[in-house]
């Protein structure tokens, strides 16, 4: 297609399965996250420092990397702050939401152990 050496299979823009594959592999640096979300790097580092979000950890990795789930949390925190919640309140709401989501899917998981 393009001239490049992208040895990738085509990704259909209206295929949800491709979206999942893409999102599952997505790993982004702090600069890109800041650029796209509009949240300053300074703030992202602060949130991580406070434990609201976590960067991908790996031996040898010195720079912050964020995955799909963390980016979703980042967007949620931003919304909550815009709505007027304090950072601490936002942190509690995010934690509560993650617990709800995890416990809920854990139940589905147990009902579908056959998968």
In three-state form (DSSP H/G/I as H, E/B as E, the rest C), the secondary structure along the chain is CCCCCCCCCCCCCCCHHHHHHHHHHCEEEHHHHHHHHCCCHHHHHHHHHCCCCCCCCCCCCCCCEEEHHHHHHHHHHHHHHHCCCCHHHHHHHHHHHHHHHHHHHHHHHHHCCCC
Question: Which residue in the set 15, 20, 22, 31 belongs to the binding site for DNA (CB under 7 A)?
Answer: 31
- Cβ proximity to DNA: between 40 and 75 the closer is 40
- Measured in whole angstroms, the distance separating CA 23 from the mean position of its chain's CA atoms is 9
46 scored as a contact of DNA (CB under 7 A): yes
Among 54, 81, 85, 92, binds DNA (CB under 7 A): 81
73 binds DNA (CB under 7 A): no
Binding of DNA at residue 76 (CB under 7 A)? Answer: no
Does residue number 56 form part of the binding site for DNA (CB under 7 A)? Answer: no
- 67 touching DNA, by CB under 7 A: no
Q: Which residues bind DNA (CB under 7 A)?
A: 29-32, 40-43, 45-46, 55, 62-64, 81, 87
């Amino acid at each position: 297609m393009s001239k490049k050496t992208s040895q990738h299979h085509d990704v259909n823009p209206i295929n949800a399965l491709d979206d999942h594959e893409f999102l599952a592999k997505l790993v982004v640096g702090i600069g890109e996250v800041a650029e796209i979300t509009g949240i300053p790097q300074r703030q992202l580092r602060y949130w991580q420092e406070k434990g609201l979000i976590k960067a991908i950890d790996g031996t040898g990795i010195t720079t912050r990397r964020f995955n799909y789930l963390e980016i979703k949390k980042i967007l949620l925190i931003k919304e909550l702050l815009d709505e007027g919640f304090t950072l601490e309140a936002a942190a509690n709401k995010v934690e509560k939401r993650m617990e709800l989501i995890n416990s809920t899917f854990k139940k589905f998981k147990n009902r579908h152990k056959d998968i």
